[in-house]
Amino acid sequence: MKEVLSSRTPAVAGHVRWSYVVSTLFALQAVGMIDKINVGIVMAFKPFLNAMGLVGKPAMAGLIMTLFLVAYGVGMPIWGYLCDRIGPRLAAIYAVVIWILMLLLGGLATNVEVLYISRIGLGLAEAVIWPVSHKLTARWFPVAERSRASGVWIAGINFGIVLAGLIVPTVILSSGWRSAFFVLAAVGLIPLVMMMRMVSDTPRQSKQVGESEVAYIEGGMLERTERVPDHERNAQAVVFKNYRFWLLTIANVATGMGIFGINTWLPTYLTKVRHMTLTGEGLFTAVAWFLCIGVLILVGLWSDKILRRAPFGVVSFLIYAVCLMGATAAKSPVVALLLIGLAIFALQTTTVAVMSLLHSIGGAGTMGAGSGGMVGISNFIGAFAPLIMGMILGATGNWTA
């Protein structure tokens, strides 16, 4: 049995957690991310701005993403609670059905008010992603594998941005901006089917999982491992009473503001300031976020090997801040794009650090509520980044500001 539970013999443990669970979470994150930044790309398309009456109104345009993110933040604690009560699989199925309907409504919108409603509904539905991802990771992976697992499904975010940069501009230019919403609604069927057919709430409920894999997973849970300080107390404690939880929430606010602020306004910045075409902007975004996938996986492997998470977050935040400040000051477009790419790399690794640390201070039983609370609060606050940026641009026209 010791050989089965050893973190040095993962081959004995089977592969269902990687081939079934992680792949489904990867798809859930990827498709969800395409839906999130779809509007950011559409906002750089003049016929859309004309149809929605948003020409010369950057604050109202930024409000499209802000309303989504506010609903996204509000919905996470709710879905986190439901994940702990009805199970992550069923919660995800219900939510994906709702978000498909909201995308269809967005494609049918004839004014910005209807679009606002569809984005609020989409935000509430997609809020399920993080609680479900954390809940399934806590139930399906030993602590020593969670940074790698999180790195892979977080990489789904990058893959989604890559696909958005390649697919959405092509669809818009060939079929119009409404078609982008309809195509993404159809793509939403992918994670829905995967969640229904490939995932169960726990390893013991899955017909595909062997006894050795179940034993390996359960033997590496937070309450049983001795590799994490205070593991028994943290596994049983109420996560909201741990001051480290609130420090992680503050860190995640910065990450959320960066991800959604950049993804909302980067297409407009690149086309207006750096004079790139819509297709060229999409290609740059795709390449930058695609390269992040390798960075995330490497950081996850390294972090699990030494079982240290916080140092990666500290270094990544510093690199992100310096590169982002330097990007708008750079005279050369090539240097600016390079710095933006490095900032994106660093920003994504902060996500791995924060999410992995969360699994060291809370057990599987309350991981839905804990992750929903943390990501919900940080996204609610970070939701105002696109609006604030739009207001600054409207008042000053200054991208550096």
| pLDDT attached to residue 8 | 41
Q: Residue 57 domain-assigned? A: yes
Q: How many helices (H) and strands (E) does the chain have?
A: 19, 0
Q: How far is the CA of 296 from the CAs of 59, 92, 125, in angstroms?
A: 33, 24, 26
pTM above 0.75, yes or no: no
pLDDT 10s digits, 306-346: 667 778 888 889 999 899 888 888 888 888 888 888 888 88
In this prediction, residue 370 has a pLDDT band, given cuts at 50, 70 and 90, of: confident
Q: Residue 363 domain-assigned? A: yes
Q: How many domains does the chain have?
A: 1
CATH assignment at residue 133: 1.20.1250.20
Residue 253, domain extent: 2-396
Which pair of tokens denotes residue 255?
């990450």
Residues 401 and 384: their CA atoms lie apart, in Å, by: 16
Residue 218 has pLDDT above 80, yes or no: no
Q: Residue 30 domain-assigned? A: yes
Q: Residue 194 domain-assigned? A: yes
Q: Residue 110 domain-assigned? A: yes
Residue 79 has pLDDT above 80, yes or no: yes
pLDDT 10s digits, 252-287: 888 888 877 877 788 788 878 887 776 777 677 667
Which pair of tokens denotes residue 357?
């640390």
Cβ pair 5, 220 in contact under 8 A:
yes
Residue 4 has pLDDT above 50, yes or no: no
Q: Residue 401 domain-assigned? A: no
Say what percent of the chain tops pLDDT 70.
85
Rg for the chain, CA atoms, rounded? 21
Q: Residue 224 domain-assigned? A: yes
Residue 15 CB neighbour total at 10 angstroms:
14
Residue 347 has pLDDT above 60, yes or no: yes
Q: Residue 124 domain-assigned? A: yes
Amino acid at 275: H
Q: Is the dihedral of CA 218, 224, 227, 231 positive or negative?
A: positive
| pLDDT attached to residue 88 | 92
Cβ pair 373, 77 in contact under 8 A:
yes
